Structures are given as structure tokens and as C-alpha cells.
Structure 1
């Protein structure tokens, strides 16, 4: 199991444990509600809600060709999830790099953030912004439509 799945797995296990308690207390309806809530939280924090990641080198190559932003992210990051949610369908139009799966991507993020792996870091035309306003990212996507 990769570390990207640790938090979602723990959330799902906690939900299953709480649902089991509810069943033992003769509350099957509450058990279903608790389990569904925790499964939804597990799904929201999983890598499944993000478009498919590519390596940093491939993302940089694609960005140079089409001008679209490169977003460096990692699973479990609330700010990355916020950016992904606020971009909506437009999220498919940027190049996503999971820094936990790509050491070159992690190095690129550290290089522009004083040695820290602060995400999301968005790079457009060689200029990086850390945790930018999602509207700014939308503008960058629209500019390269």
C-alpha cells in the first residue's frame, strides 16, 4: 500500500468500527449513515478525486507545448483538495504531478519553496505560486484555452 492510501484507509476503518458499534447497539440505520459518511470522507481524501498524475518531466514538457499550468500536489492535502474541487471540470486541463510518487516533482517543489514540500504549487510559464487562489488558476487555464 502506498502512503497515499493510508489516510483514506484509516478513515474507512474508523467508519467501519463506529458502524459496528452502532449495529451492536441495535441501530442499523445509524450504522449505515455513519459508514456512508466515513466512506465519502475516505473517497474525498483519496487520490481517486484527482485527474491522473504524470511525472514532473512529462508535465513540464506538456506545459511547454500547450502553456497549461502544472500543479504539484500530494494525496491527503486539504489545500490540494480545495483547489481540485474549486477547479471542477477545468481540473482535467492542467498537468497534475503527485510529489509522493515523483521524486523529481518533490524536488521541483522544494526548489521554489525554500526546501519545503508545500503544495499545491502551481507553475505557469516557469513561474511558481504556492497555494494560489483557485480563480487565478482558472484564469491561467482560460488564457491557454
Structure 2
């Protein structure tokens, strides 16, 4: 899976404490998004490398085509409001 130009994708890998933290925080929001394990999806790993200076740094989040490497929950929410407000469900 490559990035979603209209939606939000959280790229992660097993054992990553930063991924676990962000994924848990996002579960308590009303955002609609997809989670992709980069160890199971070579295209996703390649996308992460393309936006993270050649590294597989996760979590990486793409919001409507705007990639963020290791963002905070606040940065993700700000990006959704700015680029993809349709992802916030009521």
C-alpha cells in the first residue's frame, strides 16, 4: 500500500514503542485511517524510506499526501484539520 492522497495512513512496525504510543493515542480519536505494517508491505516500506531520508523511521503518517515522520498526536490532528478535515467523524 502506498500513500493515500485523500485519507490518512499510519505506517508502523512491530516492536516499535513510538508506534505503539501513537497508535494507541489515535484509537481514542474519531479519525478514520489505515494502519500499514511496513515489515509486511514492501511498497509501504519504500514510501517511508522516500520521506524519511532513506530510513525506515516509524511511525510515519501520511495525511492527504502530506507525510510526517514520527509525529506527535497533536501534529497529526493539526495536519488533519489543515489537509483532510473530512477524516474527522462526528
Tell me the TM-score range normalised by the shorter chain.
Answer: 0.7 to 0.9
In the alignment, what sits opposite 2:20? 81
TM-score by length of 2: 0.78
Structure with bigger helix share is 1
Q: How many residue pairs are counted as aligned between the two chains? A: 84
- Deviation of 1:85 (Å): 1.6
* Unaligned segments of structure 1, at least 5 residues: 1-55
Indicate the structure whose relative CO is greater, using CA pairs within 8 Å and at least 6 residues apart. Answer: 2
Runs of 4+ in 1 over 2 A off after TM superposition: 88-92
Structure with bigger strand share is 2
- Deviation of 1:95 (Å): 1.1
In the alignment, what sits opposite 2:73? 134
* Unaligned segments of structure 2, at least 5 residues: none
Structure number with larger C-alpha Rg:
1
